[in-house]
Structure 1
Amino acid sequence: MKIVIAGGTGLVGSALTKHFLQHGHTVAILTRNANKPKHDPNLSYIEWMKTDSYPEHEVEGADAVINLAGVSLNSGRWTEERKKAILSSRLETTTEIVRILGTLKQKPSVYINASAVGYYGTSLTDTFTDYSASSGDDFLAQTVKAWEQAAMQAENIGIRTVLARFGIVLDRNKGALPTMVLPYKLFAGGTLGSGKQWVSWIHIQDLVHILAFVIEHKDIEGPLNVTTPHPIRMKEMGKAIARAIHRPHWLPAPSFALKIVLGDMSLMVLEGQKVIPQKLGEHHYNFAYNNIDEALKDLL
């Protein structure tokens, strides 16, 4: 297969690229800088988002297109300027992808748009499945809602569209986990905020396998929760990290201090949502890492 990935050099994109190349597929990465070294003959770079670039010519013939592009949510304090960048970067790239898809003579069989479980808003008591229709009203929820609305335009041109709502992605080198682990390594780890907030998580290996699973299963479409079936409370996450690296779990980080340091971005740490991947269960996806202790043992 020929698989085109936007945002292919980040945490998820790098893992996906490695997986698809190892399985004999060709991967083309949409990037603003196409002059990058190629470490595999089946890997190529396509320049886009420039006035003089015409990526549609090289995207032609793609079997699947995956959009991971956008300013990282973890790239700094959520100032008003940062919020605008987070939203606009997602809308601009998604709109451009839909435009490209509309020009293709041979349409890909699937368009997967990365999204986030932040769509549902936050709650200590509610449980959200792929079929939960209402969205939250905070900044992240409204950003995801607008992003998904732009992505669903691909459905109007006859392409199966999947809104892959990622939970907290656990990876040993990048993303949230190294940041969460660092205080424990320094013997200063403890509960963040109340500890009652939900953490809906996914091991990077399962995330990659799920997106490959989606490409193969042509009856999966629309919202898809990419999380394990076993979300946990933040306090339990901290204790699991402590067990995994044999460190104490004792120094709490109060909510007011995190809000001062992180601003609105503290929402991602102090609030959460209990998310269940019902569609993956219905399609009998077999998780490699269902249990947080097993996942952390592999990663740490």
Structure 2
Amino acid sequence: MKIAIAGGTGFIGQKLTNHLISVGHSIYILTRDASNKPAKPNVTYIEWLTDGTEPAKSLGQVDAIVNLAGESIGASRWTSERKDQILQSRIQSTQSMVRLIEDLPIKPRVLVNASAIGYYGHSLTHTFTEESKPVEENFLSQVVQRWEQEAEAASVYGVRVTYCRLGVVLDSAEGALTRMLLPFRFFAGGPLGSGEQWLSWIHIDDVVKMFTFAIEHSEIKGPFNLTAPVPLKMNDFGKIVAHVLSRPYWLPAPSFALKLLLGEMSTLVLDGQKVLPHKAETAGYTFLHPSLEPALSNLLNS
């Protein structure tokens, strides 16, 4: 297939691109600057979101589009300006993607848009599937709802739209896990906050495989949870990390200290939600890493 990816040079985008190339697809990466990009077989860079560019003419006919574009939510403290950047980067890139689809004379079969389990809000007691509604209206939930609404606009052109609601992505080199492991490496690991908050995690290999699954399976549309089938409470997660690393689990990080340090962004570690990948399991997706301990062993000991 011919697949266009926005955000293809980012953390998930690079790994997804490499996988799709390896199974024989041709990849077109939409980027603000197509110059000085590393040459790769079956990868073409196309400029978009800059004045004077016409990505639709450069793309021609594509079978699928993946939109991963958006500012990182965990890169810095959530000031009012930063929160606006997080929201607007997602809204504007997705609106631009829909305009690109409008301009294409032959429409892609599917738009696979990144999203997040932040959609559901936080809860210690609820279990969420793709059928669930948000239980609270916090910042992340509002961002995700707006993001998905913008993506859904592509359905007007007969395009199947899927929103991949990502859980906490675990990778050995990038993302949340590297920061979560730091205190353990200094023999200072322990509960974050109460430790009772849920962590709905997913191995990076399953992220890549599930995005591919969403592209290839026409029955996957609308919300699609990208989480492992066995979420854990943060306290249990920490104990497994300590076991895999052969480190102690003893020094708690109190909620008030994390809130003082991180501000509103502390919600990323102090709050959570129990999210199950109901659609994936119903559609016959087979997880590469369904359980945490072997998943961590794969990432940290390979």
2:134–2:141 contact (8 Å) kept in structure 1? no
TM-score, normalised to structure 2, is 0.98
2:122–2:135 contact (8 Å) kept in structure 1? no
Q: Which residue in 2 is equivalent to 1:31?
A: 31
1:135–1:142 contact (8 Å) kept in structure 2? no
Distance in 2 between residues matched to 1:136 and 1:2, nearest whole Å: 39
Distance in 2 between residues matched to 1:136 and 1:29, nearest whole Å: 36
Secondary structure at the residue paired with 2:53?
coil
Give matches, 1:72-87, under 5 Å: 72-87=72-87
Distance 1:134 1:185, change over 3 A: closer
The one-letter code sitting in structure 2 at the alignment partner of 1:269 is V
Give matches, 1:2-17, under 5 Å: 2-17=2-17
1:187–1:247 contact (8 Å) kept in structure 2? yes
Please say if 1:238 is aligned against 2:238. Answer: yes
Q: Which residue in 2 is equivalent to 1:270?
A: 270
1:135–1:141 contact (8 Å) kept in structure 2? no
Distance in 1 between residues matched to 2:203 and 2:58, nearest whole Å: 32
Shift of 1:105: 1.2
Q: Which residue in 2 is equivalent to 1:255?
A: 255
Distance in 2 between residues matched to 1:181 and 1:290, nearest whole Å: 20
Distance 1:7 1:135, change over 3 A: farther
Distance in 2 between residues matched to 1:247 and 1:219, nearest whole Å: 44
The one-letter code sitting in structure 2 at the alignment partner of 1:91 is I
Secondary structure at the residue paired with 2:102?
helix
Gapped regions of structure 2 (runs ≥ 5): none
Shift of 1:59: 2.5
Distance in 2 between residues matched to 1:258 and 1:114, nearest whole Å: 28
Runs of 4+ in 1 over 4 A off after TM superposition: none
For the aligned residue pairs, the C-alpha RMSD in angstroms reads: 0.9
Please say if 1:145 is aligned against 2:145. Answer: yes
Distance in 1 between residues matched to 2:134 and 2:59, nearest whole Å: 34
2:207–2:226 contact (8 Å) kept in structure 1? yes
1:124–1:272 contact (8 Å) kept in structure 2? yes
Shift of 1:135: 5.5
Please say if 1:198 is aligned against 2:212. Answer: no
2:197–2:234 contact (8 Å) kept in structure 1? yes
Give matches, 1:46-125, under 5 Å: 46-125=46-125
2:130–2:225 contact (8 Å) kept in structure 1? yes
Distance in 2 between residues matched to 1:210 and 1:31, nearest whole Å: 23
TM-score, normalised to structure 1, is 0.98
Gapped regions of structure 1 (runs ≥ 5): none
Q: Which residue in 2 is equivalent to 1:181?
A: 181
Secondary structure at the residue paired with 1:174?
coil
Residues 97-119 of structure 1, C-alpha deviation per residue, up to 9 Å, x if partnerless?
00000111111111001000000
Q: Which residue in 1 is equivalent to 2:20?
A: 20
Shift of 1:215: 1.3
Residues 31-84 of structure 1, C-alpha deviation per residue, up to 9 Å, x if partnerless?
111113333221111111111111111232111100110110111001100000
The one-letter code sitting in structure 2 at the alignment partner of 1:101 is I
Secondary structure at the residue paired with 1:286?
coil
Secondary structure at the residue paired with 1:250?
coil
Identity of aligned residues (%): 50
Secondary structure at the residue paired with 2:51?
coil
Distance in 1 between residues matched to 2:262 and 2:60, nearest whole Å: 43
The one-letter code sitting in structure 2 at the alignment partner of 1:173 is A
Q: How many residues align?
A: 300
Residues 181-219 of structure 1, C-alpha deviation per residue, up to 9 Å, x if partnerless?
111001111111100000001100011111111111111
Q: Which residue in 2 is equivalent to 1:297?
A: 297
1:135–1:145 contact (8 Å) kept in structure 2? no
Please say if 1:215 is aligned against 2:215. Answer: yes
Distance in 1 between residues matched to 2:15 and 2:282, nearest whole Å: 25
Farther-moved stretch of structure 1 (38-47 vs 89-98): 38-47
The one-letter code sitting in structure 1 at the alignment partner of 2:67 is N
Distance in 1 between residues matched to 2:154 and 2:131, nearest whole Å: 20
The one-letter code sitting in structure 2 at the alignment partner of 1:266 is S
The one-letter code sitting in structure 2 at the alignment partner of 1:156 is V
Distance in 2 between residues matched to 1:279 and 1:136, nearest whole Å: 23
Residues 121-172 of structure 1, C-alpha deviation per residue, up to 9 Å, x if partnerless?
0000001101113363000000000011001001111100001100000000
Secondary structure at the residue paired with 1:4?
strand
